Amino acid sequence: MRLIERRIGLLFAVFCVLLAAVFARAFWLQAVRGGELQAEASAQQTRSVVVPGHRGRILDRRGKELAVSEDAASVFATPYQVKDPAAAAAQLAPALGVPAAVLRQKLSKRETGFAYLARKVDLAAAERVRRLDIDGIGVLPDSHRVYPQGELAAQVIGAVGIDNQGLSGLESGYESELHATDGQRKVTRDALGQTIEAKTVRGERTGDELTLTLDAAIQDRTEKALAEIGGQYAPAGATAIVMDPRNASILAMANWPPVNPSELTNVSQADLQNRATGFTYEPGSTFKSFTVAAALQDGIVGPDTSFYLPPEIKVADRTIGEAHPRGAESLTVSQILAQSSNVGAVTVGLKLGAERFDPWIRRFGFGRQTGIGFPAEERGIVPSLRDYSGSTMGNLPIGQGLSVTPVQMAAGYAAIANGGTLRAPRLVTELDDDPIEMPRGRRVLSTRTARKVLTMLEGVLAPGGTASEVTVPGYELAGKTGTSEKAINGVYSKTRFVASFVGFAPARKPRLLVAIVVDEPKGDIYGGSVAAPAFGEIAGFALPYLRIPPD
């Protein structure tokens, strides 16, 4: 009996020792070496995977995609881990389409811990690299921006950089909305490398979607019209804006020369600029409409008020003549506008007076940003009343001595076309399906005055007007031509001009406004012959396309 008890005691003691050993080992592994072993296991079994978030899409008003993001990959190297740089470069070169010499150079920098071999390669190329299974070569998920419409509205949409950040245009202006956030996933693998668990550490966030007021079809036709101007007159640049004057929604905003947003390496800053908001110029005769509108609204003149106009008019030390010399004659205000008389417009301006004229320039929105929300929008230059010289009122009424942007002119003319309300032009209509509230307009003219100016502007496209050659069959048109000399180093050039035209259709109840500005056309210089025909072409397409019936 005692022997049995002794054996049981011995067995108990052995078990106690074994248990103590197990506990000691467990303590050693979990408490003493726990952190180290956990890190090693984690490195072997789990992997952190970046899930790239996609930048928000940019759509036209009919939902056509103007900019989208697509999955891509970037191939990188850890040079000191690459055993044979020359062999690796030779293997990678055909897969990546990069010269082997370039890759070898990058891989040979052994002191470097990280080097990109190719950015934003397509997924098929990335898969080819993965299959090569070269030590020290890895693939990172990425995304790249695609512009499905090619060059369409390239300067307006803008471009993104290598890290998907907006560099210009709306891509830059709406960076915070379009920007995406990458996600992170933790993947656990078994000994065979098979995924046994995938946990989302941080979900990826797609950028907000931007819906524009632009219409791809009208934009395309507008760009074609500018391309014809470009081909015929080889200007330094040209821009056109197509707008619905009722709500100042921009249906097209085109620039010439065109640029390819996917290939910006050799594009100059000037060509990348959206001239509609960034180009400043002296508007010339297109400004006369505002002079006349101001005088009409203040009751200084009426459409039929007649002035006896000499061939030239002297204001302080300046003598202003007509574009085409003529003898002294009497012209009504309507005729002054239709024939674009410099002497007549200055006479109306002088009758209005500097103190009354100056606030009118600002009331129409000149000298400040229109509120379109486009990055780097220019304000133009409008002299303050205290800076007026004796001859200023000989310049301003005919659109000299101040600079404006094409979009300011379009907005000002839209106010005339819609019955007198100045509205901020609209380029973005929805942000992630949430409609952006249309800014309230500001009445600058009475409906009656706006109607009178509009009627007068019909004369510009009527026989005897400065754009009488332009027609759109079935429609009455209105508009104003402009040809201004460029000021170079403070002197008006006799060889460099800006030709422009702003037109509406249908004339009595405008639903379409087109503004065209051509910088330094060659061969011909006049707004009526260089810019106005493009209005006819654009309106001839857009009116039936938008199902706008004639008056």
Partner 1 sequence: MPPAAAPARRVARPVPAPPPRVLVAVRELPDSGLVVRMSRGQLWIGVLGALLAGIVALNVVSLSLGTSAGRLSPRIERLARENSALRADLAQRLATPRVQAEAARLGLIVPGTDEIGYLSSRDGDAAAAAQRLAAGLLGASLPAELVAGGGSAPATSTSAAPTAPVAPTAPSGGGASPPPADGGGGGGAGGVGA
- Residues classed as catalytic: 285
Among 45, 306, 332, 471, binds partner 1 (CB under 8 A): 471
CB of 401 to partner 1, least distance (A): 9
Nearer to partner 1, 54 or 423 (CB): 54
The helix or strand, by DSSP H or E, that contains position 112, with its residue range, turns out to be: none
CB of 32 to partner 1, least distance (A): 28
Q: How far is CA 444 from the centre of its chain?
A: 28
Among 75, 466, 514, 515, binds partner 1 (CB under 8 A): 466
Nearer to partner 1, 366 or 475 (CB): 475
Query: Does 335 engage in binding with partner 1 (CB under 8 A)?
Result: no
Report d(CA 165, CA 161) in Å as an integer. Answer: 5
CB of 340 to partner 1, least distance (A): 3
| Nearest to 500, CA basis, from 484, 524, 476 | 484
Residues 101-130 that bind partner 1 (CB under 8 A): 123
- The residue with tokens 């210009």 is 168
Query: Which tokens sit at 139?
Result: 């693939």
Nearer to partner 1, 267 or 462 (CB): 462
Among 47, 119, 318, 379, binds partner 1 (CB under 8 A): 318
Q: Residue 399, Cβ neighbours under 10 Å: how many? A: 26
Among 380, 420, 510, 528, binds partner 1 (CB under 8 A): 528
Applying CB under 8 A, the span of 1-9, 174-182, 264-272, 491-499 interacting with partner 1 comes to 491-499
CB of 491 to partner 1, least distance (A): 8
Among 290, 413, 504, 526, binds partner 1 (CB under 8 A): 526
Query: Does 483 engage in binding with partner 1 (CB under 8 A)?
Result: yes
Q: Residue 523, Cβ neighbours under 10 Å: how many? A: 10
Report d(CA 398, CA 349) in Å as an integer. Answer: 9
The CA–CA distances, whole Å, from 51 to 15, 62, 142, 294, 544 equal: 52, 30, 8, 59, 46
CB of 467 to partner 1, least distance (A): 6
Nearer to partner 1, 93 or 140 (CB): 140
Query: Which tokens sit at 440?
Result: 């309230």
- Residues paired with 69 in a beta bridge: 145
CB of 497 to partner 1, least distance (A): 7
Query: Does 261 engage in binding with partner 1 (CB under 8 A)?
Result: no
Nearer to partner 1, 436 or 546 (CB): 546
Residues 280-309 that bind partner 1 (CB under 8 A): 282, 284-285
The CA–CA distances, whole Å, from 266 to 145, 261, 486, 510, 511 equal: 18, 11, 27, 41, 39
Q: Residue 2, Cβ neighbours under 10 Å: how many? A: 6
For the chain, counts of helices (H) and of strands (E): 19, 23
Applying CB under 8 A, the span of 26-34, 81-89, 146-154, 436-444 interacting with partner 1 comes to 146-154
Nearer to partner 1, 440 or 494 (CB): 494
- The residue with tokens 């979009």 is 407
Residues 339-358 that bind partner 1 (CB under 8 A): 339-340, 342
CB of 158 to partner 1, least distance (A): 18
Fill in the per-residue mask, 396 to 435: x = in contact with partner 1 (CB under 8 A), - = not in contact.
Answer: --xxx-----------------------------------
Residues 6 or more apart whose CB falls under 8 angstroms from that of 542 comprise 218, 221, 242, 251, 512, 514, 548
Query: Does 370 engage in binding with partner 1 (CB under 8 A)?
Result: no
Reported in sequence order, the residue ranges of 147-291 that DSSP labels E, i.e. its strands, are: 159-160, 166-168, 183-189, 195-202, 210-212, 237-244, 249-256
Nearer to partner 1, 229 or 417 (CB): 229
CB of 518 to partner 1, least distance (A): 9
Fill in the per-residue mask, 24 to 63: x = in contact with partner 1 (CB under 8 A), - = not in contact.
Answer: ---------------------------x--x---------
Among 40, 84, 135, 190, binds partner 1 (CB under 8 A): 190
| Nearest to 307, CA basis, from 289, 288, 330 | 330
Query: Does 216 engage in binding with partner 1 (CB under 8 A)?
Result: yes
Among 96, 125, 416, 472, binds partner 1 (CB under 8 A): 472
Nearer to partner 1, 107 or 152 (CB): 152
Report d(CA 283, CA 302) in Å as an integer. Answer: 24
The CA–CA distances, whole Å, from 254 to 113, 123, 156, 229, 286 equal: 46, 34, 8, 12, 20
Report d(CA 109, CA 121) in Å as an integer. Answer: 22
